[in-house]
Structure 1
Amino acid sequence: MSDNTTGGRPGSTYGGRPGNLPSPTRSFIGRLEELGRLERELDPGAGTGRPVSLVGVGGVGKTRLALRAAGRIESAYPDGVWLVELSPLHTAGLVGLAVVEALRLSDRSTRPVTEVVAEWAEGKRLLLVLDSCEHVLADCVEFVEALLPLLPGLRVLLTSREPLGLPGERVLRLDPLPVTGDAVALFADRAAERGFTLDDTDRPAAEAVCRRLDGIPLAIELAAVRLGELTLDRLSGLLGRRLPSRLDLLAAREGEGPPRHQTLRTAIGWSHELCAPLERLLWARLSVFAGGFGASAAEEVCAGGPLPAGRIPGLLDRLVEQSIVSRHPTDPDRYRLLDTVREFGADWLRALGEEHTLRLRHRDHYRRLAREGCAEWNTGRQAAWCERVLTEHANLRAAMDCALTGPDGRVALAMASDIGFLWRHCGRLREAQHCLDRALMSGAPPGPDRVRAVWTRGAVALLQGDLEAAANWAVRCADVAREQGDPVAVVAALYLRGGQLALSGRLSEAVQVLAGAPRLPVRRDWFGAAQLQVRVALAFAYLLSGDHGRARAVAEEVRAESAACGESWAGAFADSAMAQTDLARGDIGAAVDNARTALAGHGLLHNTVGAAMALDVLAAGVVAAGDGHRAACLLGIGERVWGLTGRAQMDSPDLMATRRSHELRVRAEIGDPAYEKAYEKGRTMPYEEGLDYAVHDR
């Protein structure tokens, strides 16, 4: 019943349904009465619109109970149960962004987050689980208060150490486990995992341990892992003694917080005391990571002084054995600290006087990582970098916050230019905008970092459809590119101007700007990506103009350059443009093949908008090929994916009219009942399953 048991990836499914609940990884002991009560509260027909808060001290098992209850009631929410982990957030104002990320909404607009979520969730029936709200209470209250009145099909479950004070809030307080029942059962179960079997003669000592730990599940789990190195009687005796004085402030916190919270910290303090000195030091230093971390990152950030890098893998294994650190269920090289354990480590790090130093090490590690990602973005490592950026999102955000709150504006600009670029290409537009705006406000000095920052800020505006802002950034980018004196930077700047003109409907001007870009050798770094995007924008300007011949010629050039580089981002858009020209000239087989290739490329980079566009083109090709049932299913899949973008067909009347014409053709071929059945099949497919169905001919 630990306080943090998640390990799922956003957008995954549990039981094949929409949502992102992680699969259970450990046995669930006790809590049957609380589980039943929470299930009844979460029933869609009970207290519609009323938020439910599961409240209790740290380590009491709020997350485990919330996820178990949500999993059991999941079938009542056809549009999914969605977990939003808030513990990695370090600054205010990010709760809405965390929700958008959990829902996988690739929103391209600059609208308020609550408006985006409300538009997507309108007419849906879903459950949001906001986990670990206590450090962002005000943000949670503001978000939930704004959203619930707009969405009758939405229920919200929150876990927190204190109530939120929401209107109509139903507060369920979670008490520790009864000592003589569930607490001992949990202790026995976790002891058995360590090969220690309790018998009847051990029960009094086990009850004594659980009583001294106030029945708090996390404390019991931390105690159980010590069996083997300590006898049960010895463990009971240690827990009955006062902590060493140097741990009093950190673990006991006498006079601060509820007694049970002090009990938990005391139990963690004893776990800390029983660790070897280097294990304690690594524990403290690991607290600077947000979310999870890899072994190599731990070595780079945490090594130093008495802790050599070569010792860290072995020490990590020891901390895993002691349940201080948990290993990712599917990636053995990735770890995380439980929230309460991380808090203790952070307190200890401050007491050691190392907090500032370690936060700078963490910042600099992710600064180097982001710079390396930008340097290799236009290469065959692009998809791997996308995965890494998404995996390390919480750490990149924490490192970015550290830079933005630091005194050196040059470091903040350098990091914002790199991280913002990666976020823009991996679907994190709002956070890219946020960090770039803050970094550029400080008065950016001339240089490559400013060029990349300004270019990326304009590129974000283009994808958001903020054409006025895009025009302003295009002018600024052209100026800083000329200042830099790099001819490739000047070419990159043309993407912003030409793209803004094309989206504004000024197609002849867009073609003039983009076609006039000098043809320089394509680089392998971010500049090369910008060079390819100039050509992609030109291909689509030709398409919108109805000049399919020139559109095809440019798309073929981009595809060849993309293949030479090994990248996928621009190449997938080129494949989509090729498919559209194939349709225009009646080559249906080629259109289907190119649309599938485009879809596979966008899928590699989790490019939801690109995937949605490719699905529409693929559906058009399939219906033209005569397979109306599959085309209807593809239209359903496309509808689901467009829903994740927040703006179906990007609000384009032409795109919406084209899609409607495909729908009418399918209905005419197979009839309305068959269409509705196949369409619904596609619409209800999980994201990954839908893309797999669309890409493969089966």
Structure 2
Amino acid sequence: MSDNTTRGRSGSASGGRSGNLPSSTRSFIGRLEELGRLERELDPGTGTDRLVSLVGVGGVGKTRLALQAAGRIDGAYPDGVWLVELSALHTAGLVGLAVVETLRLSDRSTRPVTEVIAEWAEGKRLLLVLDSCEHLLADCVAVVETLLPLLPGLRILVTSREPLGLPGEHVLRLDPLPVAGDAVALFADRAADNGFTLGDTDRPAVEAVCRRLDGIPLAIELAAVRLGELTLDQLSGLLGRRLPSRLDLLAAREGEGPPRHQTLRTAIGWSHELCAPLERLLWARLSVFAGGFCASTAEEVCAGGPLPAGRIPGLLDRLVEQSVVRRHHADPIRYRLLDTVREFGADWLRALGEEHALRLRHRDHYGRLARQGCAEWNTGRQAAWCERTLTEHANLRAAMDCALTGPDGRGALAMAADIGFLWRHCGRLREARHCLDQALANGAPSGPERIRAVWTRGAVALLQGDLEGAANWAVRCADAASEQGDPVAVVAAKYIRGGQLALSGRLSEAVQVLAGAPRLPVRRDWFGAAQLQVRVALAYSYLLSGDHERARAVAEEVRAASVACGESWAGAFADSVVAQTDLVRGDIAAAVGNARTALAGHGLLHNTVGAAMALDVLAAGVVAAGDGRSAARLLGIGERVWELIGGRAQMDSPDLMATRRSHELRVRGEIGDPAYEKAYEEGRAMPYEEGMDYAVHGW
């Protein structure tokens, strides 16, 4: 069946359980037998197969049934039920990355993604729902056959139009709804929105409609909403006719496929035919979006020719009424097309000869969006840009793919620099590295886009702990900055080299490089962010060198600049440094307050690296205040966050690891090992959002 859901954030579902299952806003009709079978297969206590594939034609309701069953069984998986949506992916090799993103593993390593997932999931019990696998079967197979043997506590539910074909795969084939029962009930439920009430005299006609639609839920829903403008007899007669000739070309694409897939395509075709001309044109043009979109974006990308921008909001409302477009209540309201409806629209767009032009307009829109985000990153709009980047992640990826496959290498590099910068600061390190490596592969032309690209690539390497790679990018960044001749670019380049030296333990050299950077007015764009990060790296270098007063002075300077700009990314790191110097001074209350401020700042930007570091500092302050149990709980929360990051904790820094170990020993000494272990495990068991809320708002 089709699905109209409110998407939940990863990390906690209802009741505080880990996972990201969406909450449905539409009733679930029928399928009781199939639901019971799927539930039994997914239950670790009754199911014997760890890979279950729910297979059926498009529109038959695979996703909705999978989510319903997974939601009913989530209590059997203490480490979460996680929905991995794959329909927006169109580039090979990204399925593992999609799993990493879904699990909120802000991985900073350069290891294979399956290795990162396996390390995090070792000893855990969780269910992955890989949704819409049919167009990425080879990638899905590679991920599944790698993970399942390594993780005894993992089960995987796949939805696809065809099985993966792996040994041990339990395939449940989902048939259309039985006409006399569930199909009629679904039709009546969806038609009720238009005031229809099913009576005994209507039942034969409704059964005839459902029979003509082969009991396919999506086809039934598309037909049911038409009762607002057609009588039941008109609808039944309409569905009995062949497609109009101008739809034959599109229908022929499925002519050799399963008859029921042809039925669905016919139903979608009739829904399309009954739309007004501008509604059909908008439907086709909306197919260029990956994931969701808002009305203002649809106006910019889809308007033109006979379709004026001012008509688009009203036309969107009409398409929502006809179940062609789904509306999700967010701020702002967002829209999306179901996969099968999008496929039909994409075919129509191709038949109109507009596909290439619309994809370029989509690319250019999101290129401008990323460019604006970088231009305003070091301002009070930083948190809003982070949320926008995460919300539009699928569209940014699609736009980036379009740019990389085009002939304009300079344009692709500029877009990779902008999108990569935003992804790097919003936790999408692997995708930032992927797009930058592709854009830089054939040599970077001279110009401002080159310095942005190589700086961002080096900054990604630093957060991933790739110190050898960072050293290489530091040289390339310094060369590009020198070539550009912009003094602020020269300052920005210092961050890559200084950060690489600091993380390598060469603190005196790091101080020399970072302190030698010229002090210039802080800009409000991405260069300004780089300027502040130079000073943050210097503050940490002083701190780890034991020069606490200089560390505090630089951190206070960064805090003031951060407040002046309105940004949070660098400011939150500075708050953490100040909190550590508070501890050295013995001002415990200030240390706790500043560490909490740091956590709140990092939380705004979903910066798990910064949050993990601040949690270690907060735990030290809390144990110094005499609350050893809360400190142990905080260390457990911090350990969970470090796990989400991937790789070793404390950024592999010997100094940071030694400091964290000293905090643990102090807490154990205060409350004893048994009490420590109990409180630590309580913290470690908390989902990310719950743990962050506990740390920021108290206990």
Query: Could you state the TM-score of these two structures normalised by the residue count of structure 1?
Result: 0.98
Alignment partners' CA distance in 1, 2:298 and 2:578: 45
Q: Is the 8 A contact 2:515 2:538 kept in 1?
A: yes
Q: Is the 8 A contact 1:359 1:402 kept in 2?
A: yes
Which SS does the other structure have where 1:200 is aligned? coil
- 1:47-446 pair list within 5 angstroms: 50-251=50-251, 253=253, 255-331=255-331, 333-446=333-446
Q: Equivalent residue for 1:680?
A: 681
Cα offset for 1:297? 0.6
Cα offset for 1:653? 4.2
Shift of the 510–49 alpha-carbon distance from structure 1 to 2, 3 Å rule, reads farther
Q: Equivalent residue for 1:499?
A: 499
Shift of the 254–623 alpha-carbon distance from structure 1 to 2, 3 Å rule, reads closer
Cα offset for 1:447? 0.9
- 1:459-498 pair list within 5 angstroms: 459-498=459-498
Shift of the 157–312 alpha-carbon distance from structure 1 to 2, 3 Å rule, reads same
Cα offset for 1:43? 1.4
Shift of the 253–236 alpha-carbon distance from structure 1 to 2, 3 Å rule, reads farther
The letter for the 2-side match of 1:306 is P
Q: Is the 8 A contact 1:48 1:153 kept in 2?
A: no
Q: Deviations over 1:554-605 (max 9, x none)?
A: 1011111111100000000000111111112211111101100000000000
Q: Is the 8 A contact 1:5 1:64 kept in 2?
A: no
Identity of aligned residues (%): 89
Which SS does the other structure have where 1:172 is aligned? strand
Q: Deviations over 1:632-663 (max 9, x none)?
A: 22222212211211133233444334333333
Alignment partners' CA distance in 2, 1:156 and 1:688: 25
Cα offset for 1:321? 0.7
Shift of the 400–576 alpha-carbon distance from structure 1 to 2, 3 Å rule, reads same
Q: Is the 8 A contact 2:285 2:302 kept in 1?
A: yes
Q: Is the 8 A contact 1:4 1:339 kept in 2?
A: no
Q: Is the 8 A contact 1:49 1:148 kept in 2?
A: no
Shift of the 623–680 alpha-carbon distance from structure 1 to 2, 3 Å rule, reads same
Which SS does the other structure have where 1:177 is aligned? coil
Aligned length: 698
Q: Equivalent residue for 1:598?
A: 598
Q: Equivalent residue for 1:28?
A: 28
The letter for the 1-side match of 2:637 is I
**Stretch of structure 1 that moved more, 51-60 or 628-637:** 628-637
Q: Deviations over 1:327-376 (max 9, x none)?
A: 11434521111111000000000000000000000000000000000000
Cα offset for 1:537? 0.5
Q: Deviations over 1:43-94 (max 9, x none)?
A: 1245666311000000000000101111111000000000000000011110
Q: Is the 8 A contact 1:4 1:338 kept in 2?
A: no
Shift of the 254–513 alpha-carbon distance from structure 1 to 2, 3 Å rule, reads closer
Q: Equivalent residue for 2:664?
A: 663
Q: Which runs of 5+ in 2 are unaligned?
A: none
Cα offset for 1:409? 0.5
Q: Is the 8 A contact 1:180 1:207 kept in 2?
A: yes
Which SS does the other structure have where 1:130 is aligned? strand
Alignment partners' CA distance in 1, 2:341 and 2:87: 12
- 1:566-581 pair list within 5 angstroms: 566-581=566-581
Moved over 6 A (4+): none
Alignment partners' CA distance in 2, 1:680 and 1:230: 61
Q: CA RMSD in A?
A: 1.4
Cα offset for 1:672? 4.3
Query: Could you state the TM-score of these two structures normalised by the residue count of structure 2?
Result: 0.98
Q: Equivalent residue for 1:2?
A: 2
Cα offset for 1:253? 4.0
Cα offset for 1:442? 2.4
The letter for the 2-side match of 1:216 is I
Alignment partners' CA distance in 2, 1:177 and 1:681: 46
Alignment partners' CA distance in 2, 1:522 and 1:103: 36
Cα offset for 1:199? 1.0
The letter for the 2-side match of 1:567 is E
Which SS does the other structure have where 1:201 is aligned? coil
Q: Is the 8 A contact 1:14 1:22 kept in 2?
A: no
Alignment partners' CA distance in 2, 1:269 and 1:251: 8
Cα offset for 1:193? 2.6
Q: Is the 8 A contact 1:576 1:617 kept in 2?
A: yes
Alignment partners' CA distance in 1, 2:380 and 2:49: 48
Alignment partners' CA distance in 2, 1:337 and 1:331: 18
Alignment partners' CA distance in 2, 1:79 and 1:606: 20
- 1:532-547 pair list within 5 angstroms: 532-547=532-547
Q: Is the 8 A contact 1:253 1:262 kept in 2?
A: no
Which SS does the other structure have where 2:128 is aligned? strand
Shift of the 415–254 alpha-carbon distance from structure 1 to 2, 3 Å rule, reads closer
Alignment partners' CA distance in 2, 1:246 and 1:337: 23
Q: Equivalent residue for 1:694?
A: 695
Cα offset for 1:414? 0.8
Q: Is the 8 A contact 2:3 2:24 kept in 1?
A: no
Q: Is the 8 A contact 2:4 2:328 kept in 1?
A: no
Which SS does the other structure have where 2:124 is aligned? coil
Cα offset for 1:287? 0.2
Q: Is the 8 A contact 2:374 2:418 kept in 1?
A: yes
Which SS does the other structure have where 2:228 is aligned? coil
Alignment partners' CA distance in 1, 2:623 and 2:244: 74
Q: Deviations over 1:492-526 (max 9, x none)?
A: 00101111111111111110000000000000000
Cα offset for 1:689? 2.1
Alignment partners' CA distance in 2, 1:48 and 1:609: 39
Alignment partners' CA distance in 2, 1:4 and 1:350: 27
Shift of the 135–373 alpha-carbon distance from structure 1 to 2, 3 Å rule, reads same
Alignment partners' CA distance in 1, 2:657 and 2:469: 25
Q: Equivalent residue for 1:650?
A: 651
**Stretch of structure 1 that moved more, 643-652 or 520-529:** 643-652
Which SS does the other structure have where 1:9 is aligned? coil
Alignment partners' CA distance in 1, 2:48 and 2:493: 51
Alignment partners' CA distance in 1, 2:168 and 2:301: 45
Alignment partners' CA distance in 1, 2:651 and 2:49: 30
Q: Is the 8 A contact 1:252 1:263 kept in 2?
A: no
Cα offset for 1:673? 4.6
- 1:484-563 pair list within 5 angstroms: 484-563=484-563
Q: Is the 8 A contact 1:13 1:686 kept in 2?
A: no
Shift of the 49–493 alpha-carbon distance from structure 1 to 2, 3 Å rule, reads farther
Alignment partners' CA distance in 2, 1:365 and 1:89: 19
Shift of the 303–579 alpha-carbon distance from structure 1 to 2, 3 Å rule, reads same
The letter for the 2-side match of 1:397 is R
